[in-house]
């Protein structure tokens, strides 16, 4: 039982069909450390006043003023054509200048990027702002001259975590070209599909990269991408191949004459070249970031230059408390929105040192992240619950062995279970660092719910209040506002426009409206922004104190005999069992009750108890925390879960397995090979138990196939 529990909520409550049940108890506050309060960027309460709703939209000027503009804006936000709001109208700027050039004078010899290769014996690479400027200019010259790209053309990257990736992104930004980075772990097919959607004919990739100590072939995926794009009518014209090891080539894939080029060879012609930055309109596009669903084409979230950059810079400053002299490490992949906003654009716009790590957290052992932190003097650490769970699983005592000190630690990507939060706080942060649980999504550009690190107390499992200038509201199924402290959950929405929001879904304005606005917009002809709340897609509950607890994606809710259970609550209960490292809940179709819960769990290493005994404990804990109704039909102990690039469990895949249904597209899994393993294990066991499934109706098939499809 949690040490700060304020009583339990085990009694059964009746819920109406449309309401998500909330069984989670509120945790107690944890006060942030005092020693950093003086230096904090958000140090005094006046900031809350400045960003209060009555100061909308002027409050965001504070963020825009953090940037250097070629021309100041004429209008803060144009809301005349909802929901296509435009920020900093009339303003002109260049994102690369803001992230590189403007720091040359004051921080030219300081490190902009510190890159840590996966092999520990390989040298760490330090790239100063001057060096970054040189590399970005040379690559921009190559793109412009050799590839002939022009402002607002699209260039696709399928790159691993190497510094060439931010260099290439910033080179595009310098030219006003739109980049579209596809997560390196995705398949070639997924990359080609995204190229076709963006109508992009240039691919930037790498021959190979390190993963778990092995140099793995990546260029082979480029050939698959070419094929996939071709099927959708796009001919890939040029493939620019970076080489992981200078002068060597580590791929089975042949270089195709007249299409494939080694970047290092091409760059010889551009040595020392400088390229004038394009002065771009604030509402021009900086990049596309694709988010996938199981059905339909992937959606290209189209982010603006001025709005996006101002928002990520402001939130990096106040929520991560980044100062230029900090050493900041966001342990995420740049192929995820977190990497774009909080490895590259936000930190570099603030002129700090941003650390990039090539490999997996546990290579060669679970002490690696803490050794990196110690060696580089990292003082701000940003990562995801999945990484925290993994590090806790394999090395619960490791952080204590290393001499590093964090002032802030951030978590992002999923609700963090209070139990995991406490390990992060006590063991990783050594009780010295403030935690900010930052809730947001690809579409929002930057943080939308969080505490300010040294101003607002933390509450494990809650992200905190709405972020500065963001007006959050929860609606029920009928569009009625759910009041705070009511204990009722609903659909969390953002009431007002904010600068970080995506402009639209690339090439699909209607889909943009349908996905994010249709549900809670009461009058599609209204020209008033207040009539256009943005639906985030998450279920949430707001406590009396205004803090939000995110219950997971709305389409992850499991309906058992009319009780709508949030997956995250079930998983959080399972993880309270000592032996459990990770848990996932999915629905299975059941003859009598419609749907029932099935749990998947992964155990910590060296668990001596049998799988059956742990499974029993999990079932009992869920019954205790949530109620009999949620008692899982089966608890499967599996080696690992299928995960996305950001480490979110792809529940629709395991839901497919549990229901003997199609698992759908798995090209965007970070670890596709676990699918067959789990399928064999679970389906064989089910057949033995006589649980192989009855026919699924069309509606049931659809429900299983799209279960949790909104998660990325």
Sole binder of ligand 6R9 in the list 160, 293, 351, 413 (CB under 6 A) = 413
Contacts of 16 (CB under 8 A, 6+ apart): 562
**Residues of span 462-501 touching ligand 6R9 by CB under 6 A:** 463
* Residue with Cβ nearer ligand 6R9 (277 or 293): 293
* Residue with Cβ nearer ligand 6R9 (362 or 451): 451
* Residue with Cβ nearer ligand 6R9 (484 or 679): 484
The dihedral region occupied by 406, where left means phi > 0, alpha psi between -120 and 50, and beta the remainder, is beta
Nearest to 671 by CA among 186, 43, 55: 186
Give the interface segment with ligand 6R9, choosing from 40-48, 357-365, 412-420, 603-611 (CB under 6 A).
412-420
**Residues of span 319-338 touching ligand 6R9 by CB under 6 A:** 336-338
Strand partners, 596: 588
CB of 644 to ligand 6R9, least distance (A): 7
Sign of torsion, CA 446 451 453 454?
A: positive
The H-assigned helical ranges of 493-566 are 509-516
Give the interface segment with ligand 6R9, choosing from 388-396, 438-446, 580-588, 665-673 (CB under 6 A).
438-446
Give the interface segment with ligand 6R9, choosing from 1-9, 229-237, 535-543, 658-666 (CB under 6 A).
535-543
Decide if residue 127 touches ligand 6R9 (CB under 6 A).
Answer: no
* Burial track 143-152 (b if 16+ CB lie within 10 A, e otherwise): bbebbebeee
| Separation of alpha carbons 391 and 377, rounded Å | 20
Q: Classify residue 450 by its DSSP letter.
A: -
> How many CB atoms lie under 10 A from the CB of residue 555?
17
Decide if residue 439 touches ligand 6R9 (CB under 6 A).
Answer: yes
Give the interface segment with ligand 6R9, choosing from 56-64, 254-262, 518-526, 545-553 (CB under 6 A).
545-553
CB of 303 to ligand 6R9, least distance (A): 12
CB of 424 to ligand 6R9, least distance (A): 12
* Residue with Cβ nearer ligand 6R9 (412 or 597): 412
| Separation of alpha carbons 565 and 585, rounded Å | 10
Give the interface segment with ligand 6R9, choosing from 7-15, 151-159, 434-442, 468-476 (CB under 6 A).
434-442
CB of 117 to ligand 6R9, least distance (A): 26
Decide if residue 572 touches ligand 6R9 (CB under 6 A).
Answer: no
Contacts of 14 (CB under 8 A, 6+ apart): none
Decide if residue 537 touches ligand 6R9 (CB under 6 A).
Answer: yes
CB of 518 to ligand 6R9, least distance (A): 18
363's tokens: 């290579």
* Residue with Cβ nearer ligand 6R9 (438 or 451): 438
* Residue with Cβ nearer ligand 6R9 (318 or 363): 318
Q: Classify residue 71 by its DSSP letter.
A: B
* Residue with Cβ nearer ligand 6R9 (24 or 129): 24
Going along 508-665, which residue ranges are E strands?
534-542, 548-553, 558-560, 563-565, 580-590, 594-603, 634-637
Q: Is 9 exposed, middle or buried (0-12, 13-18, 19+ CB in 10 A)?
A: middle
| Separation of alpha carbons 8 and 643, rounded Å | 32
Decide if residue 418 touches ligand 6R9 (CB under 6 A).
Answer: no
| Separation of alpha carbons 557 and 283, rounded Å | 36
Sole binder of ligand 6R9 in the list 63, 115, 210, 440 (CB under 6 A) = 440
Cβ(20)–Cβ(41) below 8 Å? no
Strand partners, 490: 540
Sole binder of ligand 6R9 in the list 553, 563, 595, 643 (CB under 6 A) = 553
C-alpha distance from residue 518 to each of 161, 428, 443, 472, 521 (Å): 37, 42, 16, 17, 5
Q: Which residue, chain included where needed, has tokens 């000027």? A: 61
Cβ(293)–Cβ(271) below 8 Å? no
Count Cα neighbours of 524 within 13 Å in the Cβ-side half-sphere: 7
- Residues 593-612 as x/- pattern, contact with ligand 6R9 by CB under 6 A: --------------------
Decide if residue 538 touches ligand 6R9 (CB under 6 A).
Answer: yes
Give the interface segment with ligand 6R9, choosing from 185-193, 213-221, 530-538, 621-629 (CB under 6 A).
530-538
Give the interface segment with ligand 6R9, choosing from 36-44, 393-401, 433-441, 663-671 (CB under 6 A).
433-441
Sole binder of ligand 6R9 in the list 354, 442, 567, 658 (CB under 6 A) = 442
CB of 319 to ligand 6R9, least distance (A): 11
CB of 246 to ligand 6R9, least distance (A): 34
* Residue with Cβ nearer ligand 6R9 (229 or 412): 412
Strand partners, 600: 584, 636
* Residue with Cβ nearer ligand 6R9 (285 or 438): 438
Give the interface segment with ligand 6R9, choosing from 29-37, 171-179, 432-440, 655-663 (CB under 6 A).
432-440
Sole binder of ligand 6R9 in the list 412, 433, 467, 570 (CB under 6 A) = 412
Count of residues in the chain: 712
Contacts of 70 (CB under 8 A, 6+ apart): 92, 93, 94, 279
Decide if residue 291 touches ligand 6R9 (CB under 6 A).
Answer: yes
Decide if residue 441 touches ligand 6R9 (CB under 6 A).
Answer: yes
Decide if residue 24 touches ligand 6R9 (CB under 6 A).
Answer: no
* Residue with Cβ nearer ligand 6R9 (201 or 646): 646
90's tokens: 């009339």
Sole binder of ligand 6R9 in the list 200, 310, 353, 646 (CB under 6 A) = 646
* Residue with Cβ nearer ligand 6R9 (307 or 351): 307
Cβ(455)–Cβ(42) below 8 Å? yes
Size of residue set near ligand 6R9 by CB under 6 A: 23
How is the chain split among helix, strand and coil, in percent rounded to 5? 30, 20, 45
Decide if residue 415 touches ligand 6R9 (CB under 6 A).
Answer: yes
Sole binder of ligand 6R9 in the list 131, 437, 703, 709 (CB under 6 A) = 437
Q: Classify residue 539 by its DSSP letter.
A: E
CB of 344 to ligand 6R9, least distance (A): 14
Helix (H, G, I), strand (E, B), or coil: what is residue 269?
helix
Nearest to 182 by CA among 293, 288, 286: 288
Sole binder of ligand 6R9 in the list 76, 550, 554, 641 (CB under 6 A) = 550
Sole binder of ligand 6R9 in the list 223, 321, 398, 414 (CB under 6 A) = 414
| Separation of alpha carbons 545 and 459, rounded Å | 11
Cβ(322)–Cβ(347) below 8 Å? yes
| Separation of alpha carbons 225 and 193, rounded Å | 7
Decide if residue 456 touches ligand 6R9 (CB under 6 A).
Answer: no
The H-assigned helical ranges of 203-275 are 219-231, 263-267
CB of 572 to ligand 6R9, least distance (A): 12
299 membership: H or E segment, kind and range: strand 299-304
* Residue with Cβ nearer ligand 6R9 (538 or 582): 538
Nearest to 468 by CA among 339, 344, 330, 316: 316
Decide if residue 436 touches ligand 6R9 (CB under 6 A).
Answer: no
- Residues of this chain that interact with ligand 6R9 (CB under 6 A) are 291, 336-338, 412-415, 437-442, 463, 536-538, 550, 552-553, 646, 712
């Amino acid at each position: 039982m949690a040490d700060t529990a304020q009583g339990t909520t085990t009694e059964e409550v009746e819920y109406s069909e449309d309401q998500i049940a909330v069984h989670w108890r509120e945790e107690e506050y944890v006060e942030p450390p005092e020693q950093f309060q003086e230096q904090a960027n958000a140090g005094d309460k006046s900031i809350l006043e400045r960003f209060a709703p009555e100061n909308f939209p002027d409050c965001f000027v504070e963020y825009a003023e953090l940037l250097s503009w070629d021309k100041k804006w004429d209008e803060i936000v144009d809301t005349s054509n909802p929901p296509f709001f435009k920020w900093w109208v009339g303003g002109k700027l260049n994102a690369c200048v803001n992230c590189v050039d403007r720091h040359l004078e004051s921080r030219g010899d300081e490190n902009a990027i510190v890159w840590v290769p996966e092999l520990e014996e390989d040298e760490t690479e330090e790239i100063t702002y001057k060096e970054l400027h040189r590399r970005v200019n040379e690559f921009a010259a190559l793109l412009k001259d050799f590839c002939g790209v022009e402002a607002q053309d699209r260039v696709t990257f399928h790159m691993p975590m190497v510094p060439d990736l931010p260099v290439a992104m910033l080179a595009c930004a310098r030219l006003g070209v739109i980049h579209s980075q596809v997560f390196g772990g995705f398949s070639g097919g997924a990359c080609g599909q995204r190229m076709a959607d963006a109508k992009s004919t240039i691919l930037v990739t790498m021959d190979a990269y390190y993963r778990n100590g092995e140099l793995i072939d990546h260029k082979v995926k480029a050939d698959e991408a070419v094929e996939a794009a071709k099927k959708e009518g796009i001919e890939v014209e040029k493939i620019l191949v970076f080489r992981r090891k200078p002068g060597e080539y580590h791929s089975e894939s042949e270089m195709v004459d007249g299409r494939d080029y080694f970047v290092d060879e091409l760059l010889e012609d551009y040595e020392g070249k400088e390229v004038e930055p394009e002065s771009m309109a604030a509402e021009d596009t900086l990049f596309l970031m694709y988010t996938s669903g199981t059905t339909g084409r992937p959606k290209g979230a189209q982010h603006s230059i001025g709005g996006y950059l101002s928002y990520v810079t402001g939130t990096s400053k106040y929520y991560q408390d980044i100062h230029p002299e900090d050493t900041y490490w966001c342990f995420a992949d740049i192929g995820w929105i977190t990497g774009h906003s909080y490895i590259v654009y936000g930190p570099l716009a603030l002129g700090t040192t941003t650390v990039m790590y090539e490999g997996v957290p546990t290579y060669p052992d679970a002490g690696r992240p803490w050794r990196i932190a110690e060696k580089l003097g990292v003082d701000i650490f940003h990562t995801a619950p999945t990484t925290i769970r993994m590090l806790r699983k394999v090395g619960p005592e490791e952080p204590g062995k290393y001499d590093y000190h964090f002032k802030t630690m951030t978590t992002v990507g999923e609700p963090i279970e209070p139990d995991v939060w406490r390990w992060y706080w006590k063991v990783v942060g050594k009780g010295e660092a403030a935690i900010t649980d930052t809730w947001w999504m690809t579409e929002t550009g930057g943080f939308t719910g969080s505490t300010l690190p040294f101003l607002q107390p933390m509450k494990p499992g809650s992200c905190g209040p709405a972020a500065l200038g963001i007006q959050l509201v929860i609606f029920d199924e009928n569009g009625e506002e759910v009041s705070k402290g009511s204990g009722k959950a609903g659909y969390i929405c953002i009431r007002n426009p904010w600068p970080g929001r995506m402009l639209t879904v690339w090439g699909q304005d209607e889909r943009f409206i349908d996905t994010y606005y249709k549900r809670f917009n009461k009058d599609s002809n209204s020209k008033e922004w207040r009539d256009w709340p943005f639906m985030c897609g998450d279920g949430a509950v707001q406590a009396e104190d205004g803090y939000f607890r995110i219950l997971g994606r709305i389409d992850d809710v499991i309906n058992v005999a009319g009780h709508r259970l949030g997956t995250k609550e079930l998983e959080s209960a399972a993880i309270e069992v000592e032996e459990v490292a990770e848990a996932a809940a999915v629905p299975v179709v059941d003859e009598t009750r419609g749907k029932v819960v099935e749990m998947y769990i992964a155990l910590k290493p060296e668990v001596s108890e049998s799988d059956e005994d742990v499974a029993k404990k999990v079932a009992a804990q869920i019954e205790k925390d949530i109620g009999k109704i949620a008692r899982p039909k089966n608890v499967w102990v599996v080696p690992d879960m299928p995960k996305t690039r950001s480490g979110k469990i792809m529940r629709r895949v395991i839901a497919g397995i549990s229901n003997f249904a199609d698992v759908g597209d798995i090209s965007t899994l970070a670890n596709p090979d676990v699918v067959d393993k789990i399928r064999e294990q679970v389906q064989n066991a089910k057949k033995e138990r006589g649980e192989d499934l009855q026919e699924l109706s069309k509606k049931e098939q659809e429900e299983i196939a799209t279960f949790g499809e909104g998660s990325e």
